[in-house]
Structure formats: C-alpha cells, structure tokens
Amino acid sequence: MHQLCRNLRTGQLKYSIHNAWFSPLFVLVFMATAPVYGQGGPPMITDDPFTPENGHWENNIAVQFTGTTASKEIEIPAVDINYGYGDHVQLKIEMPIMSCLHSNNGSVIGSGNVKIGAKARFLDEEISGIAVSTYPQYEFKTSSIAGQDEAPQFFLPLEAAKTLGRYHFAAEAGYANTASGPDELVYGIVMGYDQSERCELLAELHGDNHIHAGVEGIIFNVGLTNELTPSFGFLASAGTTIYSPEHSRMFVAYLGIRWML
C-alpha cells in the first residue's frame, strides 16, 4: 500500500498523495511523545512495529484498487506473505500476481513488482512503554508492464505504537529512495478501536512528500479487521484524498483475507 505513486504516461497511473499541513516533523514528534500502538499494515497503508510469533506465518491476500476519474489500477490478488523469525523479526515478500491498468490510453494487464522486507522491533511496549521498529524494504522492477511504478525503490521507515484501553495508535515515518523519480518522505498515523474482541475499526491519515518537488497532499482512509476464527480474518478499507494542490481526487480500496499459520 505504500506504492501509491504510479506513472500516468503509457497507460499507467501517476498519483501523488502528499501532505501540506501534516509534516514529517509532526509525525516524528508524535511517535516520540503521543500514545501510539495499533493496527497498522493491511488493510491500511501505514505500518506498525508488530511481528508474527516465532515460526508463524501471516498471509494477506486481497484485491487492491487505486483510481481517479481518468485512470484505474486493480491488483488481483495482491499477496503479502510474512514470517516471524524469533520474537522481534518479520520477513516479508509482497507482490501483485496480476495488475490491471485502465486509462484513456486503453487497458493493460500484467504481473506487478516484487517487494521484500525485514522488520526488526527493538523496543517492546511491555518493557519500554512503547513499541518501536524499523522496516527496510526493497521493491524490484519485476513487472511485465512497461513503465509501471517508480521501481526499483528502497524504503527505510521507523514505526512506533502503543495502546490505551480499547484504543490503539500507530505511527510511521520513512525515507524512500527511488531510481526513476524524486526521493520521498512517507508518513502516516493509524488509530484503531476494539469494537469487540474480534473486530477492530480503523482510521488513518497518510501522506508522502517529494523532497525536491515540494508538492504535498494527504489521504484519509477508514477500515476494519474482523477475526472470523483464530487463524482466519477479514480485512477491508477505503479512502480518498482530502487535500491536493492540484485539486485532483484519488480513491483507494482494499478487500482481503488474513490467514495465520
């Protein structure tokens, strides 16, 4: 879900979700001082510091949609596979098996880019009062669709999280180095509320800032997770831009399942 910048030329999407009033500095201060735990990661864009249990798998399989009035992209399915290595490390591979792009120039179908990552949590909330991790990720240019995405890309974020009763909060801020485009600062905050023992309601603000371009905007996203069984859950989210200097509107949606092994 971090890859919300697409190329509009050659039938691809070009979305810039940047933030004019929600600065990276604010996020870093929030991570250091505010109560933050939470439910990050799928179905939301912003991630959290938490990892699967040692030797366990967390697999998210979904349909992802990103679109404007002029262009649309659907990933079917978007596969996100995570493995817990020890108590504080998560290994991850992510890929859209099939990507369907449609714009005024026509439609294109092909495979998507592969992303790998390793999350390392170095503070636990139980001991330190806050959970903190880093989550370096690298996106490979493996798509069969010419020009898709600004890959290869290296992303280095920090995540922080905390809980207050039934409320959970998570924050993420990171630096993205992209080979074919400007570098970015990526940041977001997620709030979760335990509506029941099985269902969590989610709300998110997320943005990125092109460091040299100076164009900013922000997206607002809402979602939920519902644990149907101890090993099987339902994930959903939908969002749209609430600020864009170009006054353009982008929509995102995520509908999937989580399978724990």
In a domain, 80, yes or no: yes
pLDDT value of residue 66:
92
- Is 181 within a domain? yes
Distance CA 205, CA 24 (A): 12
Q: Are 16 and 162 in contact (CB under 8 A)?
A: no
Residue 41 lies in a domain: yes
Rounded to two decimals, what is the model's pTM? 0.83
Would you state the pLDDT for residue 105?
77
Q: What is the pLDDT of residues 14-52, one digit of tens each?
A: 333 333 333 443 343 333 333 333 457 999 999 999 999
Question: Cα–Cα distances in Å, from 261 out to 2, 40, 53, 76, 167?
Answer: 25, 20, 10, 22, 27
Range of the domain at 194: 9-260
Does residue 124 form part of some domain?
Answer: yes
3 assigned to some structural domain? no
Whether 49 is in a domain gets the answer yes
In the chain, which stretches have pLDDT less than 50?
Answer: 4-38
Q: In this structure, is residue 62 part of a structural domain?
A: yes
- The count of domains in the chain is 1
Q: Does a structural domain hold residue 2?
A: no
Give the CATH number of the domain where residue 170 resides: 2.40.160.40
pLDDT for the residue 31: 37
